[in-house]
Amino acid sequence: MDSSTQDPERINSKAPTDDTVESVSGGPVGGHANLDDAGLPHEQDSICSELIVRSVSGRELLKFEMGPKDIIRMVMDKVINATPPSDNKRLYLANGDRVLQESETATEAGLCSGSEITAVFYDKPPPKVLTISADSTARLFDTECGTCMQIFDGHNGAILTAAFSKDASLILTASSDCTAKLFDAQKGTCSQYFTGHSKPLTGACFSPDESEILTTSYDNTARLFDVSNGSCKRVISGLSVATVMAVFLLPDAKLILATSLENGSAKLIDKESGDCKQSFHGHRKQLRTVASSPDGKTVLTCSRDNTVKLFDTESGDCLQTFQGHLKPVGRAIFSSDATQVLSVSDDCSAKLFDTKSGKCIHSLYGHISPLYMASFSPDGKKVLTTSVDGTSKLFDASNAQCECTFKGHKLAVRSASFSPDGKYVVTASHDRSAKLYSCVTGACEMTFTGHTQALFLAAFSPDAK
């Protein structure tokens, strides 16, 4: 349900740092306990009486007495009993600029007589999360309780990429066992498999109408398959062994954008004839990834030469070169309106560029190891990054400020994805786990376990069922 139709006292607040949340009014809504010289609450403040819980708008919800050893969870239960949230809402409590943790006692939370607590309701996450792993399986988890709902097995090698169909009824996987498979998301059974490659796959994706599957492989080819019967309709040769990838060029999907064996180039291929319709040259070293603008009129190429280039798909002309990274660029994407380009690099930074001028708008710093990926939030106002340093970070796209660092993983964070409403993030790590974080509180709300080897991807299901 659209949050704009909910109780006006429920807000979309800025994502805070690890332990904080901003009040809507911009200032504190309560006070902290007075401390003695040892930094502990005064004895007279440790007995909490008449604590007040207010809504974001300031309306008093309830008053109650709370002992120094009572925990915050008790307060949350009282609030929920007094003002039950709708089924799709969650609750957190804040005292001033600090988010209160459920397991904290009143003393640990710094609450004293007269303290005011703010109750904030926010949306629950989508119900399902998909993960893929080097252990040859994909798993579907329930975000409410963290249990594994379904295991998709049958591959004989690591699953390297996966994607939902639009209605989330099917899951497409690509594996190092040289095959791709299509699974029924509800039953967990394999409904179709795609073979023919002689080396591990590097990717697989649906065509826009989901009637075809495009796969890429280290065997230097891409293959186009019919979803209905699994037959191979076309083999596209001459692709790059180092950075094999291909995508359908929107909006009509008649062309395929792929990296080429030629050093530092990409090309457009007619999916029916297999003919090369356009080539994009200019990089001094091999490409790592390619991307298409939403309207298909321009493409981005990322290279080991530390640059990103923008090409016109019709003429093949290079329209812009985005410079500034000090090491190879691993990935670049367009904003939804194609006015900005977001890139990540081995130099531990991400950069936002103006598409038209080519100028760097912002550099996003804070990671201490190379970045794997970056993405825009659904509204384009935030940027999410992942890194070898074991963290994911949330940045404000307007000023490059890091609003939140999602911690908890013990090894590299390979991927991170926003929920459709942008209020949650799910991460996948080499530590064999995935984690669900709230962009509202910054807290880890769930850890998904069960895989026996490194995870490569975690993503929310597009459906809301």
The DSSP line for 191-209 is EEEE---SS-EEEEEE-TT
Q: Evaluate whether 415 touches 434 at the Cβ level (below 8 Å).
A: no
Indicate whether this model's pTM tops 0.85: no
Q: For 376-409, give the DSSP string.
A: E-TTSSEEEEEETTS-EEEEETTT--EEEEE---
**Nearest Cα to 331, choosing from 276, 383, 289?**
289
Q: Evaluate whether 95 touches 51 at the Cβ level (below 8 Å).
A: no
| Torsion angles phi and psi, residue 142, rounded to 5 | -90, 125
Q: For 117-132, give the DSSP string.
A: EEEEEEEPPPSEEEEE
> What Å distances lie between residue 452 and 131, 446, 459, CA to CA?
12, 18, 18
Instruction: List, in sequence order, every beta strand (DSSP E) within 59-136.
Output: 60-66, 89-95, 98-100, 116-123, 128-133
In a domain, 356, yes or no: no
Encode the chain (465 residues) as per-residue pLDDT tens digits. Answer: 333 333 333 333 333 333 333 332 333 333 334 444 444 444 444 455 678 898 888 888 888 888 888 999 888 898 888 887 766 677 878 888 788 888 889 888 888 888 889 988 877 777 899 999 999 999 999 998 899 999 999 999 999 999 999 999 999 999 999 999 999 999 999 999 999 999 999 899 998 889 999 998 999 888 999 999 999 999 988 777 656 666 776 667 788 888 876 678 898 888 888 888 999 999 999 899 899 999 889 999 999 999 999 999 999 999 999 999 999 999 999 999 999 999 999 999 999 999 999 999 999 999 999 999 999 999 999 999 999 999 999 999 999 999 999 999 999 999 999 998 899 999 999 999 999 999 988 889 999 999 999 999 999 998 655
Eight-class DSSP state of 73: H
The pLDDT, as a whole number, for residue 98 is 81
The rounded distance, in Å, linking the Cα atoms of 312 and 280 is 9
The pLDDT, as a whole number, for residue 40 is 44
**Nearest Cα to 266, choosing from 257, 274, 275?**
257
In a domain, 456, yes or no: no
The pLDDT, as a whole number, for residue 254 is 80
Eight-class DSSP state of 315: T
In a domain, 236, yes or no: no
Cα radius of gyration (the chain): 25
The rounded distance, in Å, linking the Cα atoms of 454 and 82 is 44
Domains identified in the chain, total number: 1
Q: Evaluate whether 116 touches 48 at the Cβ level (below 8 Å).
A: no
**Nearest Cα to 219, choosing from 234, 204, 237?**
237
In a domain, 156, yes or no: no
Helix, strand or coil, per DSSP, at residue 22: coil
CATH of residue 113: 3.10.20.90
Question: Is the Cα dihedral 434, 155, 127, 440 positive or negative?
Answer: positive
The pLDDT, as a whole number, for residue 164 is 95
In a domain, 355, yes or no: no
**Exposure string over 218-257, b if 16+ CB within 10 A, otherwise e:** bbbbbbbbebeebeeebebeebbeebbbbbbbeeebebbb
Eight-class DSSP state of 76: H
- The rounded Cα 19 to chain-centroid distance in angstroms is 21
**Nearest Cα to 29, choosing from 91, 113, 98, 84?**
98
Count how many residues are written for the chain. Answer: 465
In a domain, 119, yes or no: yes
Residue pointed to by tokens 């007040």? 52
> What Å distances lie between residue 49 and 77, 78, 119, CA to CA?
18, 15, 18
Q: Evaluate whether 349 touches 331 at the Cβ level (below 8 Å).
A: no
Eight-class DSSP state of 27: S
**Nearest Cα to 282, choosing from 303, 256, 261, 255?**
303
The pLDDT, as a whole number, for residue 340 is 98
Q: Residue 309 is which amino acid? A: K
In a domain, 101, yes or no: yes
User: Helix, strand, coil shares of the chain as percentages rounded to 5?
Assistant: 5, 45, 50
Q: Which domain holds residue 118?
A: 3-123
In a domain, 274, yes or no: no
